Structure 1
Amino acid sequence: MSERAAVAAFRRSLGLDSLIDVHTHFMPERLLAKVWAYFDAAGPLVGRRWPIAYRAAEKERLDVLRGFGVSAFTSMLYPHKPGMARSLNDWAAEFAARTPDCLHTATFFAEPGAGQDVRRALGQGARVFKCHLQVGGFDPNDPLLDEVWGLLAETGVPVVTHCGSGPVPAAFTGPGPIAALLARHPRLRLVVAHLGMPEYEEFLGLAERFGRVMLDTTMAFTDFSESAAPFPRAALPRLADLGDRVLLGTDFPNIPYAYPDALHALERTGLGPAWLRAVCHDNAARLFAL
């Protein structure tokens, strides 16, 4: 069975016409090439062999995603140093303008003017932000970000945040910095990427404490991730209880396996079709008023 047919069969089994994927990567071609080179070299933040499954030109990647029946997706992009965020946001605004099915995505870095960058991106129409604490290497509680978090909490715009310590820990990953952040901004609509891998239970606890915290499923439950950071099966009932706040994410195109594998991995949790329908479509449709 082809990948497209496999995804179509998955959708049919749930009665879904389409999927919504909140964690996909589109970025300027030169930057994406550097990201792929980093994965190819199994850089320090990767830590293992990681072949890119969907290495192709932008149009082909869009065609593949749409061919899977993904009706809305993001252009997750992130700076690794100061001075990048604004130009990335300008690129993302242009990409969203020519790609109507993309949820206009923006980013920020802990630097002077971060609040202005976010305010400007919101003015351009950003609907979701990406924050990568592992790559950025900054503390989410840095005072330079006070205005950023305040704006995002006030507007309710989601911020998909790589804050877990997978695949390798960094200075400010883990539940501690995020717990401190949420204590100051309890209304922040923070989406914990990768279910908080590998600190799954701690991030589930934060979602249970803070009613606007959500989680995305990026790479979770796949054979690739389970071999290094298995999800504790005793915690599945807690994930089921948070079923209205879990979103489908995949990391397309930067995944080392086929797209259907991510969907079948969710199916294998045994959490059932109603949970899968909510995760793969309905929760994001409600969040983004689609």
Structure 2
Amino acid sequence: MLVRDEDVPAWWQRLGLDGLVDVHVHFLPDQVMNAVWSYFDQASERYGTAWPINYRTPIQERLKTLDALGVRAFPALVYPHKPGMAAWLNTWAREFAAATPGCVPSGTFFPEPGAAEYVREALEKGTRIFKVHVQVGDYDPRDDVLDDVWGQLTEAAVPVVVHSGSGPIAGRHTGPGPFGEVLRKHPRLTGVIAHLGMPEYAEHLALTSYPNVHLDTTMALTPFTEALMPFPRSLTARLGDLGDRIVLGSDFPNIPYDYGVQLSALESLDLGDDWLRAVCLTNGARLLDL
């Protein structure tokens, strides 16, 4: 059954929850968010399908939308596409979180001189989750300049959401191989593989052999994504077995459908209410150290 946005609070209340924890939400400085939206405006040419932004509204209205849905905690995931952006995005994200109830301070990095220093500063100032976008950044996560960064995040046990999958379009360094090599070098890293690793679902699920690897649900299993990169139903039981490693992600506001569609997709797996409770609240709360 499709969950409409107005029905989302009743949905999580039925599960006995106090709300939702969403680990994959984006807020960015206006000029950066506008550039992201302009990119998606060209989705028909890039991806072969339109990608209208469902929540293309001012920041304060987006925050009210999350509050009405019952999203109690979320990061404002930021990410750079070129050198020289990450440090000031980290400052912006910390200031945004400090002024925004429910927002967990987030950070990012890029393979550039000084990355280890500004990541160390971010950790010291309370950043609790990082975001890496291998396809947008067009860099190799195995770059030697990032080795200290991965080591810092491993030691701090701070999660990093990694878009390593080749969806919606492949990049030079996407796929499970490059990030898999990072994990081989830093096996205790708390990695959160975005989008269930689409479209390399099985290969990314296999990376949960590392003890702290999680996957977020962002856009996966929804009708929009199933039309492009369907999730093999033979892997559904594997998701059930990983009930403590799957976390709710949405990609709000940059989604071409209502927020409730993601919850409907998760419920359609028929993995039970305990699984939904863990995915939609407990696991995310643990990762974000709430």
TM-score range, shorter chain: over 0.9
TM-score (norm 1): 0.97
Residue 243 of structure 1 is matched in structure 2 by 243
For the pair 1:274 / 2:274, whether they are aligned, the reply is yes
Q: Give 5+ residue unaligned stretches, structure 1.
A: none
C-alpha RMSD of the superposition: 1.4
3-state SS in 2 of match to 1:144? helix
Cα deviations by residue, 1:149-170 (Å, 9 ceiling, x for unpaired): 0000110000001000000100
Alpha-carbon distance, 1:289 to partner: 3.0
For the pair 1:158 / 2:179, whether they are aligned, the reply is no
Preserved contact between residue 104 and residue 126 of structure 1 (Cα < 8 Å): yes
**1-structure distance, mates of 2:180, 2:164:** 11
Residue 234 of structure 2 is matched in structure 1 by 234
Cα deviations by residue, 1:67-97 (Å, 9 ceiling, x for unpaired): 1001001101110000000110111011011
Preserved contact between residue 21 and residue 250 of structure 1 (Cα < 8 Å): yes
Cα deviations by residue, 1:115-160 (Å, 9 ceiling, x for unpaired): 1111111122100000000100110100010110000011000000
* Matched letter for residue 190 of structure 1: G
* Matched letter for residue 289 of structure 1: D
Alignment of 1:53-202 (within 5 A): 53-202=54-203
For the pair 1:8 / 2:9, whether they are aligned, the reply is yes
3-state SS in 2 of match to 1:215? strand
Q: How much identity, in percent, do the aligned residues show?
A: 55
Preserved contact between residue 164 and residue 173 of structure 1 (Cα < 8 Å): yes
* Matched letter for residue 247 of structure 2: L
Alignment of 1:245-264 (within 5 A): 245-264=245-264
* Matched letter for residue 284 of structure 1: G
Name the CA shift for 1:249/1:45 in 2 (closer, same or farther; >3 Å).
farther
**1-structure distance, mates of 2:265, 2:216:** 14
Name the CA shift for 1:191/1:44 in 2 (closer, same or farther; >3 Å).
farther
Preserved contact between residue 163 and residue 192 of structure 1 (Cα < 8 Å): yes
**1-structure distance, mates of 2:33, 2:45:** 17
Residue 283 of structure 2 is matched in structure 1 by 283
Alpha-carbon distance, 1:43 to partner: 7.6
3-state SS in 2 of match to 1:131? strand
* Matched letter for residue 108 of structure 1: F
* Matched letter for residue 156 of structure 1: A
* Paired positions, count: 289
Preserved contact between residue 13 and residue 19 of structure 2 (Cα < 8 Å): no
Name the CA shift for 1:179/1:275 in 2 (closer, same or farther; >3 Å).
same
TM-score (norm 2): 0.97
Q: Give 5+ residue unaligned stretches, structure 2.
A: none
